[in-house]
Amino acid sequence: MSLDVEESIKQDIDLRLKDIAKCEIQRERRLKLYTGKDRVIPVLGFLKSYGFIHLAAISCVDWLDDGEFEIVYNLWSYRDKAGILVKTRISRENPEIDTAIPIYEIAETYEREIHEMFGVNFPGNPNLTSLFLEDWNGPPPMRKDFDTRKYAAEKYGMRDLTEQLKIGMDKIKGVRDGDEIL
Amino acid sequence: MGLFKFSRSRSLWMMHFCTGCGAIEMPPTMTSRYDMERFGIIPMATPRQSDLLLVTGYLTVKTLKRVVRSYEQMAEPKYVIAFGSCTMRGGMYWDSYNTVKELDLYIPVDIYINGCMPRPEAIIDAFIKLRDMIDKGEANAWKNYRDNLDWYKQNQAKVFDINKWSAKI
């Protein structure tokens, strides 16, 4: 399988973004691009003008050991029928990155979700309110250091049903021994 | 058996609150294969017209608010059937941070149907049990809600802000 389209995209990107981004061909129709936190908006702006007009998703990866979050922008070009991932890393201590709304308006909702689930702040996004978690009082739940089991036990506190289970088991035993079920 | 109990038990109008995966068991139960209408049970559009609330799966905190609100809008007497393992003990979401584990802490439940998911036979079985319970005057969970409102509200307040919610929805 030839990678002509991918090679030509990579060449164009290397030519224009040589100093601020590093581009890789992942496989057929998939490219990756690494850039710095402050360069994301100009890079996205260039890619949109190049043909990547569709922002499919923004996702976040929690690299706990590195102390960093990785923000990943998924772009798609209908002209070249190719996708590109724009990856950048931000510190976990003070997670903050400029909003992509000026380039892609749809980014508002994706950023809202990441803000809710990872606690990343997006200066410039006017609507960083809760999306799925209403009245949430815990830490951002998708972070790797969030203990979901402990939180669930504290918040929902299941009742102890040992006694009832015992009664149920005795009933089942009774049925097995030939007694009629109640 | 009084006339009212007889009539109520044989014309249950059901609001199915389709959360989670259990809703997919409702079409066969409603339609000709299992045909719940022979027991006088028909699906109804709004809580204010319904007698029976069917909760068909796991509830997130956000959904629970809507369930409580729907339940409180229903006219008495009202009955609740909860579906599947998720409504009982959280099921496969037992350690999830955002799903409610035991539904009867927040609204009173007449009948739980076991299973993941329960088959339409089990649902029909629950409907017949509920009919018999109403006939005998045993399906009184709605009175329980009225009498122990403080307890239920206290439990609801643990998972969501009951003072804010009416303005928010």
CA gap A133, A151 in Å, rounded: 14
- pLDDT per residue as tens digits for the range B129-167: 999 999 988 888 899 999 999 899 988 888 888 776 554
The pLDDT value recorded for residue B128 is 92
Averaged confidence pLDDT in chain B: 88
Res A61: pLDDT: 94
Report which of residues B126 and A168 the model is more confident about. B126
Record: contact A134-B65, CB cut-off 8 A: yes
Cβ within 8 Å, pair A141-B159? no
Please give the interface size between A and B, counted as residue pairs whose CB atoms are below 8 Å apart: 48
For residue A136, what is the nearest residue in chain B, using CA coordinates? B160
* Element counts in chain B: helices (H) and strands (E): 8, 5
Model pLDDT for residues B77-92, shown as the tens digit of each residue: 899 999 888 888 888 8
Residue with tokens 């109403």: B134
Which three-class secondary structure string do you get for chain A?
A: CCCHHHHHHHHHHHHHCCCCEEEEEEECCEEEEEECHHHHHHHHHHHHHHCCCEEEEEEEEEECCCCEEEEEEEEEECCCCEEEEEEEEEECCCCECCCCCCCCCCHHHHHHHHHHHHCCECCCCCCCCCCCCCCCCCCCCCCCCCCHHHHHHHHHCCCCCHHHHHHHHHHHHHHHCCCCCC
Cα(first)–Cα(last) distance of chain A, in Å? 69
**pLDDT, tens digit, for every residue of B93-122?**
888 898 898 898 999 999 999 888 889 999
pLDDT confidence of residue A101: 92
Residue ranges and CATH numbers for the domains of chain B are 3-168 (3.40.50.12280)
User: pLDDT band at residue B168, thresholds of 50, 70 and 90?
Assistant: very low
CA distances from A178 to A167, A171, B114 (A): 17, 11, 24
What does the pLDDT read at residue B1? 67
**Chain A 157-176, CB below 8 Å of chain B: which residues?**
158-159, 161
ipTM: 0.80
Rounded CA gap, B17 and B58, in Å?
Answer: 11
A148 touches chain B (CB under 8 A): yes
Q: Where are the domains of chain A?
A: 4-146
Architecture of domain A4-146: 2-Layer Sandwich (3.30)
Closest residue in B to A154 (Cα) is B97
CA distances from A9 to A18, A30, A33, B44, B113 (A): 13, 11, 11, 56, 57
Q: Would you state the pLDDT for residue A159? A: 81
pLDDT digit string (tens) for chain A, length 182 residues? 678 888 888 888 888 888 888 888 888 889 999 999 888 999 999 999 998 999 999 999 999 999 999 999 999 999 989 999 999 999 999 999 999 999 999 999 999 999 999 999 999 999 888 888 888 888 899 999 999 989 988 888 888 888 878 887 777 776 666 655 54
pLDDT of residue A176: 61
- Compute the nearest-CA separation of B90 from chain A (Å): 9
B77 upstream amide cis, omega within 30 of 0: yes
Q: Cα separation of B44 and B34, whole Å?
A: 18
Considering only residues B68 and A137, tell me which one the structure prediction assigns the higher pLDDT.
B68
Sheet-wide strand order for B79-83:
B42-43, B13-17, B52-55, B79-83, B111-113
